[in-house]
Amino acid sequence: MRKSLMEHYLKRVPHLVDEDHLDDPHVKANLLLQAHFSRMDMPISDYVTDLKSVLDQSLRIIQAMIDISANSGWLSSTMNCMHLLQMVMQGLWYGKDSSLWMLPSMSDNILSHLNQLDIFSIKQLLEFSNSKLYMLLEKASALEVYEELLNFPRVKVKVNLSKDDAKDSASTFLNIRLAKTKKTSSSRAFVPRYPKMKDEAWWLVLGNVSTSELYALKRISFSDRLVTKMELPSMHINLQETKLFFISDCYLGLEQEIAIG
């Protein structure tokens, strides 16, 4: 029975698995995750329970993958793992699904209406004032979407470089100021597809996109404002190619890339 249900997913998920090992727990976890990202219904209650267990355990595994990639200085791998964690939280495919589908009330009709207005992401919607956003969505009969959008933060990032001349090495620091320009009711993450409550958290990633080198990583959380800093590597780096990435651990499409040079 279980194997036939796995075969049901086998024909529908985008990435192939080994059909000869459908009883293997690794294959089952793979199929359940793909079904979660594709927002497929679970055919039996046992699969709902299994999926909750897989999602819960994957959180720790992916965080460990991020730590290993960051410690190795691998920028692309680290960011790919971060995007994978966002996929787990939202039940969507990164790079394939619109971030607008993070909104439970989103529909094909509303999505089509927004696309006709050249709006393709939640990040674009959050750039509107609340009043303009209300008017925009009222015309699309999508006021439930408006209410759901109030759960998403708008964060402004400011940076500047400074020297620490007190040290013999005269280290260079990137000073970072973060401020939520639209306060949410709490710092609780809006993750209706994830089975547990979770607080918002973010990564600050310093790296070079051209060489895919990661220089520094810091995990943060804050409710309103935060001032922090990151030390640049002592070796000579190209500041023009060095970027700061501000990445959510639960929301797709809200990351920011800030030039520091």
pLDDT, tens digit (0-9, with 9 covering 90-100), for 14-44: 888 888 787 888 888 999 999 999 999 887 8
Cα(222)–Cα(199) distance, integer angstroms: 10
245 within 8 A of 155, measured Cβ to Cβ: no
What does the chain come to in residues?
Answer: 261
Q: Please state the rounded mean pLDDT for residues 193-199.
A: 94
Q: What is the mean pLDDT of residues 159-182?
A: 82
SS3 59: helix
pLDDT in tens, 95-120: 999 999 999 999 998 899 899 989 99
Local confidence band at 185 (pLDDT 50, 70, 90 cut-offs): low
- pLDDT category of residue 73 using cuts at 50, 70 and 90: very high
pTM of the model: 0.91
Q: Does domain 154-259 have CATH number 3.10.20.30?
A: no
Distance between CA atoms of residues 41 and 38, nearest Å: 9
Q: If you average pLDDT over residues 130-152, what whole number do you get?
A: 82
Q: Parse the chain into domains and list their residue ranges.
A: 2-43, 99-149, 154-259
Residue 187 pLDDT: 83
Please name the residues in contact with 136: beta carbons below 8 A apart, sequence gap of 6 or more: 117, 128
Predicted local distance difference test score (pLDDT) of residue 12: 84
Q: How far apart are the first and last CA of the chain?
A: 59
pLDDT surpasses 90 at 171:
no
